[in-house]
Amino acid sequence: MKQTFWATSLVASVAMAGISPAIAQETYKIGVSAGLTGYAATVDRAWRDGVELAAAAVNAKGGVMGRKIQVIVEDNRSEPQEAVTVYRKMLSSDKVDVFVSGCVSAGNFAAAGLLLRAKVPMMLCSILPQQAEHLPWAFTTLPPAGFEVEKRLEYLKEKTQIRKIAVLHDPTPYANLQKGVAERNAAKFGIEVVSVDQYKQDDADLSVQISKARAAGAGAILKIGLGGTTLTAAKNIKQLGADMLLLTSLEDLAVFGPVSEVLGDKFFFVASPSQVYEALPEGGLKTGIKAFLDPWREKFKDRDPNWASRGWDGVMLTVAAIEKAKSLEGEKVRDAYETLSGFQGTTGVYNFRPDLHQGITENPFVLATIAAGKVKVVQ
C-alpha cells in the first residue's frame, strides 16, 4: 500500500509540475512551432537556425522597440496534433507575441483556429491555411507555388527545343499546388504536359513513371518534391537510357552533387537567390542576402542557406511590422504585416497587401546546373 500511495503522489506531482505556467518577462517573444524531428526535420531545423540568427542580430542592435527578442522553439514532431499542443503551450504558458513557424503545413493549419481566437499572428514557412476565416492571421514567406514551375517552363521555352514534358510529384500539398500550376500554365509557354505521375517520398524506384513519361514523348521531367527520390530519378533515367532533361525543385544544395554526377549537363534545378549568392549581380537583393549570409557562414560554414534565409526574413518582416505599427500588440502587428511592401528580404522583395498574405510577388528564383563542381546559373 505504501508503495502504491508513493507511486500515485509521485506521478501526480510530476504530471502537475510539467504544466505549470512560466513566469512572464519583459521580452518580445517569438514562438516557433517546428518539426525538429520527423519528416520536416532538415528543413525546419534550418528554419529555426535562421530565426535564431535573426533574433540575435536584432538583439545585437538593441532589440525591437526597446525589447530584446526571445525565441521559443517547440518541436511539433512534424505531427499536426503535436503542433496544436505546442502552439497551445507557447500561447498560454509562454505568452508568445507572434509566431514565426516552420514548414509543417498541417500543423500550422491545425493551430490556425487557436491563433485566431488568441489574436496572435503567424509568419510561416509553409503554405497558408485553406480556411478563409483563418487567413487574416496568417502570412507566409513562401513564394507562390507557380514560381518554381514557371522558371523551369521559361527555361525550356527559351533555351531548348523541348515542347513535351512530364510532371513527377510527391503527394505533399506544396507539390500538389505546383503540379496544378504546371498543368494549367504550360500552354502559356507553348509546352504540353504529356504525363503526370505521383510518387511517394520513400519510393526506391521511379523507373515505371519515367518509362511512362518517355513513352508519352516527354523530353524533360519536371520533378516536384524533396529528398532522396531526386537521385533515384536520375539513376533511373540513366539506366533506361532515356534522353531527357531532369529539372528539379528547390532543395538543399548538398543533394545535388551526386545527381549531377549521374546526369551531368542534363540536370537542372531551381535555386533561391541565397544559394547562388556569388553569381548574383550587385544590388538590393545581394545586399539583403549579405546581411544574413555573413553571420550564417560564420556560424554554419557552407551549410545550405535556403530555408534559414526565409526564417531570417520571417523575423525581419516581423521587426519591420512592429516598427511600422509602433506597437507590440498582436492585432496591430497583424495590420502592419498587411502594409509591408517593397521589403527587401533574402528571398526577394515582399509586397504584402490586405488581400495578399503571400508577400513574394516577383519570381526570385533562378535555374541552375552544376558544371565542373560549381553551381552555374543558366536562367
Partner 1 sequence: MTISPSITSPERRPIALRLAGLLPWLFAVVVVGYAMVVGGYAATVVSFALIYAVFVTGLNLFMGFAAQVSFGQNAFAAIGGYGSAVLTATYGWSPLPAMVIGIAAAVMAAAIVGFPTLRLKGHYLAMGTLAIGLITYEITVEWQSLTQGYLGISGIPPFGIGAYEVTSDRGQLVMLSLVVAACAFAAARIRRSRFGRALSAVAGSEEAATALGIDVSRYKLMAFLLSAGFAALAGSLFVHVVGYVSPEVFGLHMVIVTFTMLYVGGIGTVAGPLVGALIVSLLPETFRAFKDYQDLAYGAALILLLIYAPRGLASLFAPRGRS
Residues near partner 1 (CB under 8 A): 1, 3-5, 7-8, 11-12, 14-21, 74-75, 77-81, 84-85, 88-89, 91-93, 105-106, 109-110, 112-113, 129-131, 133-134, 171-173, 176, 198
Residue nearer to partner 1 on the CB measure, 88 or 332 = 88
Residue nearer to partner 1 on the CB measure, 20 or 161 = 20
**Least separation in angstroms between CB 244 and partner 1:** 26
Residue nearer to partner 1 on the CB measure, 17 or 60 = 17
Asked whether 241 and 340 are in contact (CB, 8 A), the reply is no
Residue 295 CB coordination number (10 Å): 15
Residue nearer to partner 1 on the CB measure, 134 or 266 = 134
Asked whether 378 and 367 are in contact (CB, 8 A), the reply is yes
**Least separation in angstroms between CB 22 and partner 1:** 9
Residues contacting 278, CB < 8 A, separation 6+: none
**Least separation in angstroms between CB 263 and partner 1:** 29
Long-range CB pairs of 331-340 (<8 Å, 24+ gap) are 331/119, 333/97, 333/98, 333/121, 334/119, 334/121, 334/136, 334/137, 337/121, 337/123, 337/139
**Least separation in angstroms between CB 168 and partner 1:** 16
Asked whether 262 and 234 are in contact (CB, 8 A), the reply is yes
**Least separation in angstroms between CB 220 and partner 1:** 25
Residue 255 CB coordination number (10 Å): 17
**Least separation in angstroms between CB 7 and partner 1:** 6
Give the DSSP letter of residue 362: S
Residue nearer to partner 1 on the CB measure, 113 or 146 = 113
Residue nearer to partner 1 on the CB measure, 82 or 313 = 82
Asked whether 147 and 363 are in contact (CB, 8 A), the reply is yes
